[in-house]
Chains A and B, each alone.
Chain A
Amino acid sequence: MAIETSNECMTVAHAQYLLQNGVDCRGVSDDPPQFQAGDRVRTKVMHPITYTRLPRYVRGKMGTIAKVNGVYVFPDTMGQRLATKPQYVYNVRFAAQELWGPDASPRDCLYIDLFDDHLDAT
């Protein structure tokens, strides 16, 4: 199902509303989250030719769920005007050395928000 985008000219009132209230990107899901804070996860290795919010530098890496952020619409499919595919977004922590090797600081971490479809259980 393709998502239709309005071609209507944005009015001043609509612009003011958007500036004030923004756009709510949250979605609704009846499913419980797949992961909880503290769970170890591995990011998927994938190379779609279409849009994705899973950056290459975190693909195939081991991380830990830092926080369950709730349900949001899925930009990977929204970006193609396909389904909104609402799913959980998790803040995932990676050790800098897991991403960049032993030359990175043993103390430093990278935190990134990833979607259910980006993650596998370990």
Chain B
Amino acid sequence: MAHTHRPESEIALRVKAIESLLVEKGIVDPTTLDTIIEAYEHQIGPHNGARIVAKAWVDAAYKQRLLADGTSAIAELGLTGFSSEHMVVVENTPQVHNLIVCTLCSCYPWAILGLPPTWYKSFAYRARAVIEPRKVLQEFGLVIPDEVEIRVWDSNADLRYLVLPERPQGTEGLSEAALAGLVTRNAMIGTVKVQPPEQPSTLAA
């Protein structure tokens, strides 16, 4: 027998109840809430980070500024915002692979990457990314050779981190916009590499 109505989860109901109370008591303005939700649903997201990465790939001087002072270089593109006030960009190379985590809670560069994925906030990722990053990356489908150094960045203070992934081979002819289209959210957290267009990543979700 098919159910036409699925009850809302307990947590969703609880949030709804809290929201109604806050609005009723005049502590929260529902129009303000809508403004914030609208911004994260339609304007802010990983496409912002992808623009930064693609620009760094095609503009060597920009890349240098980005790695030296992420905050200022990102501000040049007008992409600064809430929870991305103090940015550090770390570069993946053939010798070094970077991975971002926040063991304390779920600190994340919201203005650059949007809201963090659920797995980023999970206890398992937060605990295991620091203890056994190689195993965690394998579970994302990424095997890092023993001779490559893994740098795990625990962003527990007020600085936020963004991985500058390696530009994939065979993308020399691509425009900046086309390059940006290859850059995934997870590549900017460091759990996958950016794939060339011929081999789309199966782990984009």
Chain A interface (Cβ < 8 Å from any Cβ of B): 7, 9-12, 14-16, 18-26, 53, 55, 57, 69, 72, 75, 89, 91, 96, 99-100, 104-105, 107-115
| Residues from chain A with Cβ under 8 Å of B27 in the complex | 7, 9
CA gap between A96 and B80 in the complex, in Å: 32
Instruction: Tell whether, in the assembled complex, residue A25 and residue B86 are in contact, meaning their CB atoms are under 8 Å apart.
Output: yes
A-B contact pairs, 9 of them (CB 8 A): A9-B26, A9-B29, A19-B36, A22-B82, A22-B85, A26-B86, A107-B147, A107-B149, A112-B154
Q: CB < 8 Å: which of A12, A107, A110, A112 contacts B35?
A: A12
Q: CB < 8 Å: which of B84, B133, B153, B158 contacts A108?
A: B133
Instruction: Tell whether, in the assembled complex, residue A16 and residue B35 are in contact, meaning their CB atoms are under 8 Å apart.
Output: yes
Instruction: Tell whether, in the assembled complex, residue A72 and residue B157 are in contact, meaning their CB atoms are under 8 Å apart.
Output: yes
CA gap between A110 and B131 in the complex, in Å: 9
B104 at the interface (CB under 8 A from A): yes
CA gap between A115 and B104 in the complex, in Å: 15
CA gap between A35 and B82 in the complex, in Å: 29
B143 at the interface (CB under 8 A from A): no
Instruction: Tell whether, in the assembled complex, residue B28 and residue A10 are in contact, meaning their CB atoms are under 8 Å apart.
Output: yes
| Residues from chain A with Cβ under 8 Å of B44 in the complex | 19
With A15-B35, A108-B133 as known contacts, state yes or no: A115 contacts B157, CB within 8 Å: yes
Instruction: Tell whether, in the assembled complex, residue A112 and residue B156 are in contact, meaning their CB atoms are under 8 Å apart.
Output: yes
With A25-B85, A57-B130, A108-B149 as known contacts, state yes or no: A11 contacts B103, CB within 8 Å: no
Q: How large is the interface on B (under 10, 10 to 19, 20 to 34, 35 or more residues)?
A: 35 or more
With A9-B29, A108-B150 as known contacts, state yes or no: A24 contacts B85, CB within 8 Å: yes
Instruction: Tell whether, in the assembled complex, residue B31 and residue A12 are in contact, meaning their CB atoms are under 8 Å apart.
Output: yes
Instruction: Tell whether, in the assembled complex, residue B36 and residue A21 are in contact, meaning their CB atoms are under 8 Å apart.
Output: no
A116: min CB distance to chain B, Å: 12
Residue of B nearest to A108 (CB): B150
B103: min CB distance to chain A, Å: 5
With A21-B80, A23-B82, A105-B134 as known contacts, state yes or no: A10 contacts B29, CB within 8 Å: yes
Instruction: Tell whether, in the assembled complex, residue A23 and residue B85 are in contact, meaning their CB atoms are under 8 Å apart.
Output: yes
| Residues from chain A with Cβ under 8 Å of B148 in the complex | 107
Task: Using A53-B156, A111-B152 as known contacts, list a sample of 5 further A-B pairs with CB atoms less than 8 Å apart, ordered by residue number in A.
Answer: A9-B26, A19-B82, A108-B151, A109-B152, A111-B151
CA gap between A110 and B88 in the complex, in Å: 15
Residue of B nearest to A51 (CB): B104
CA gap between A53 and B133 in the complex, in Å: 21
Q: CB < 8 Å: which of B36, B82, B151 contacts A109?
A: B151
Residue of B nearest to A115 (CB): B157
A98: min CB distance to chain B, Å: 12
**Which 9 pairs, one residue from A and one from B, show the smallest C-beta to C-beta distance?**
A113-B157, A25-B158, A22-B85, A112-B154, A108-B150, A22-B82, A107-B149, A15-B32, A111-B153
